Amino acid sequence: MRLPSFEYLEPRSIEEASRLLKEQGDEAKVIAGGTDLLPSMKHRIFRPKSLIALDRIPDLDRVAFDKKGGLRLGPMVRLHALGNHPVILERFPMLRQAANAVGSPQLRQMGTLGGNLGLDTRCYYYNQSSFWRSCRSVCIKMGGETCNAVGGGKKCFAVFSGDLAPALIALGAKIRLFSKEGERVLSLDDFYSGNGAEPLAKKPDEMVTGVEVPPPPKGALSAYYKYRIRKSIDFPLAGVAACLAVDKREKVCKEARVVISAVGQRPQAIGKIGELLRGRKLEAPIMEEASNLAFKTAKPVANTGSSPAYRGFMIKVFVRRALEKAAEGNGA
């Protein structure tokens, strides 16, 4: 499959890139690493007239940390660099896990933080060639009126399948967005709309300019688990990120954030687990209750390469594993 023709634009500043995006509207796409966008263009899912490249804009690949302000990441940080940066290795091991779980080594050399956070949602009936899709009715995500994944549903059930988003949400990250109207900062959790057809809660001319992660709490333990058919290349079919602050002596949970992913239209923080675990000892009955909460929250449908029942079961297994690691005083 060949790429459609397009104009390749190389702005030298965020302001210029935002202006180009505003002027061209739906006819333009921002390209970072291109590892997801270019295959989608070959499938004719997207046919932009212009690609706005961010490679020439300085300082978008920064990684900075201070003990008071926490971690600051640029959207063009390559996933390989993110997974091997000394600060990440020392202070944010779950982020290292998530970055190194993306695709293959070759894809991580090209893929970026901003690209992974802004992934389009995926579906077995959507991520196909134009010839394959022409054999079925046009789905909601392509502008039609029905969801093929659920046999005529009026809501798009395409799945968000990024690895970094659940880990960063569990770490309490915020995201910076820039447009001609100015900059705004919002919780990364609020960046995802929950609408499979339009998964990102950002304005058409907004661009990601950075991610901020607060310093991890004292006694923090974290882990990221990913179910996939193959060890490399594949997107997650179920994912769990957990970050817990635990009194290692008493094994009492002081704070807990658990985020499930790849089983719905957005990564989903399960606040009830945090409420359940706060101030409680991490013992078998309470961990079982928490994993059951996660299982009940997950609502996968048959639109990826594994059965919904098994994907939901793996969410339960992963939450239980993360809590058991925390109870043992271990983490990523």
- Answer yes or no: is pLDDT of 329 > 80: no
Q: Could you tell me where the DSSP H helices lie in the chain?
A: 14-24, 37-42, 79-84, 86-91, 93-100, 105-110, 113-117, 130-133, 164-170, 271-277, 284-297, 308-327
Q: Pick the residue with more confidence: 126 or 305?
A: 126
pLDDT score at 332: 61
Q: Could you tell me where the DSSP H helices lie in 259-307?
A: 271-277, 284-297
| CA distances in angstroms from 177 to 147, 253, 318, listed in the order given | 31, 34, 32
| CA distances in angstroms from 9 to 51, 89, 120, 175, listed in the order given | 6, 35, 22, 25
Structure tokens at 188: 């990364």
- Answer yes or no: is pLDDT of 322 > 90: yes
| Beta carbons of 58 and 15 less than 8 angstroms apart | no
Helix (H, G, I), strand (E, B) or coil at 139: strand
pLDDT score at 154: 87
| Residue closest to 213 by CA, chosen among 59, 32, 63, 101 | 63
pTM score over 0.75: yes
Tens digit of pLDDT for each residue in 174-227? 999 999 889 999 999 999 999 999 999 998 889 999 999 999 888 899 999 999
How many Å is the maximal CA-CA distance in the chain? 62
Tens digit of pLDDT for each residue in 133-176? 999 999 999 999 999 998 877 899 999 999 999 999 999 999 99
Roughly how many angstroms between the first and final C-alpha of the chain, as a whole number? 40
The Cβ of residue 151 has, within 10 Å, a number of other Cβ atoms equal to 8
Tens digit of pLDDT for each residue in 89-114? 999 999 999 999 998 999 999 999 99
pLDDT score at 331: 64
- Answer yes or no: is pLDDT of 43 > 80: yes
Rg (CA), the chain: 20
The Cβ of residue 289 has, within 10 Å, a number of other Cβ atoms equal to 14
Domains of the chain in start order, with CATH, are 1-57 (3.30.43.10), 220-327 (3.30.390.50)
pLDDT score at 60: 96
Structure tokens at 142: 């392509």
Q: Pick the residue with more confidence: 117 or 230?
A: 117
- Answer yes or no: is pLDDT of 292 > 70: yes
- Answer yes or no: is pLDDT of 231 > 80: no
Q: Which residues of 207-220 are buried (b: 16+ CB within 10 A; e: fewer)?
A: bbbbbbbebbeebb
Q: What is the mean pLDDT of the chain?
A: 94
| Beta carbons of 110 and 33 less than 8 angstroms apart | yes
Share of the chain above pLDDT 90, in %: 86
- pLDDT (average), residues 61-77: 95
**Spatial CB neighbours of 215, under 8 Å, sequence gap ≥ 6:** 67, 68, 69, 70, 71, 91
Angle between helices 308-327 and 284-297 (to 10 degrees): 150
| Residue found under tokens 């193959």 | 230
Single-letter residue type at 180: K
Q: How confident is the model at residue 305 (pLDDT cuts 50, 70, 90)?
A: confident
pLDDT score at 248: 79
- pLDDT (average), residues 11-30: 94
| Beta carbons of 61 and 78 less than 8 angstroms apart | yes
The C-alpha atoms of residue 146 and residue 153 are separated, in whole angstroms, by: 5
- pLDDT (average), residues 36-49: 95
Q: Pick the residue with more confidence: 1 or 294?
A: 294
